[in-house]
Amino acid sequence: MNILTVIFCIVATSLITSKAATSGVFTYEPEGENIRITQVAEGITGHLEIPSHIDGKKVTHLGGGKAFGLNKSFPSSFTSITIPNTIEFIDKDTFTNSLITSVTIPPSVKHIGEFAFYASHIKSLTFLGNIETIETAVFHECLHLKTINFFPGMKSLGDSTFFTCPSLTHINLPRELESIEDRLFFNCANLVSVTMGPNVKEIHNQAFAECPKLTSVDLSWGLKSIKTAAFSTCNTIKSITIPPSVTDISSSAFQYCNSLQSIIFLGDAPTVIQKKINFFNPDGSFNLNPDGSFHSLHADLKIYFKEGKTGFTTPTWNNYPSAMIPASETPTKSWLRSHNLPEESNLDSDPNHDGVSLLAEYALRLNPAQNNSKAVPTIKFENNTAKITFFNGRSDIEYTPQHSTTLNNWSSTNLTMTQKSSGEMVASTPTTNNTGFFRIQIKQKNEQ
């Protein structure tokens, strides 16, 4: 007889667990050699100062699980917060539904988890550094968010970052941003104008869809691709200019833009990718059907293209009336038309009284529909060097940067000029005390 003997062994094990502790109003636990704050006590009012160190260890993580927003059924009541320049990770849901009205993200932050500030009461948002990862819908449904100050060097923003932020009206995207992700500003009901930096290569699906008051879009000079429904149902846009760098556009890119009366192409005809939106779903997704051209646009839409550019046809192109812009037409007239301004406008004038003339806005590729008083180039001091970065890509404009230490004597001598592929110039000069001034002289070539 075969006998099967089963031996049960009891092995003593040591379970290692992270033990939570408290310091003042904060609950925290170890995060490697650093500290993660996981909770804040209820009933805190006014300002909350997050410590940079606890027990001599650096605080690097702010925990998720609505740690600073809704805890069970009790909303945190503090309305302002200081995030120290030691925090590297702000985790998922951390500030969901919080009552804070202003947030400054320090340059130490590397990662912000999805829905981190969802439905919070933020009115003003400032980024002080480049963030390596911003996950989905970080500021989704921040209904009071009106002002965003981007760090110029930011290269990416997560998809749906500002989904349904109806208080946003004017956006200047960071200079180094490389891609506008899916639904980045979807359903921002009061967004009027957007200016992109020179490095944006792609505008992804529904990036600006359902923005019914969007009237002015200044596309990146280096833009390559405009994806499905990127500007769908932007009912107020009347004209848009497609930079010469664009190689492909979805046929539904401007679907249901019922006021769009002109699309101006500055380069060769792009490939029109055959996609048609059948209908939107409640979750923001959409169904696609193939289609052969641009569609669901204003009945009087007309396509304009520059003389000498290839791939276009007349009297129609992609089933819409088309016309060639004579090579003799000045670039400034095309620019004025694309921004719905009279072609006979005086370029020395300042129609919106922001202190920046139309000529300066044209030359520096600024959006004349926006207040550009804070969008003009500014000086940066780095490593005993003063420098200024400005767009110099208009072939009909002569740009002359000059430097002064006194505001009395100006000169281009000793300036180092570095041309960037984005169409920008960097003018720099040595400095020993981080002082100095720049100005840029702008002159039309062959003025008529």
8 Å CB contact between 372 and 356? yes
Distant-in-sequence, close-in-space partners of 68: CB < 8 Å, separation ≥ 6:
40, 48, 62, 76, 81, 94, 95, 98
Whether 21-325 shares its CATH topology with 379-444 is answered: no
Q: Is the pLDDT of residue 370 over 90?
A: no
Mean pLDDT of 130-150: 95
Per-residue model confidence as pLDDT tens digits over 297-350: 767 889 999 999 999 999 998 888 999 988 878 889 888 887 878 888 999 999
Q: Rounded distance, CA 28 to CA 67, Å?
A: 11
Q: Which fold has domain 379-444?
A: Immunoglobulin-like (2.60.40)
Q: Is the pLDDT of residue 217 over 80?
A: yes
8 Å CB contact between 158 and 186? no
Q: Which fold has domain 21-325?
A: 3.80.10
Q: Is the pLDDT of residue 198 over 90?
A: no
C-alpha dist (Å) from residue 190 to 87, 196, 232, 235, 374: 33, 18, 15, 12, 21
Q: What is the pTM of this model?
A: 0.77
Q: Where are the domains of the chain?
A: 21-325, 331-363, 379-444
8 Å CB contact between 152 and 374? no
Q: Choose among 312, 340, 342, 344: nearest CA to 325.
A: 312
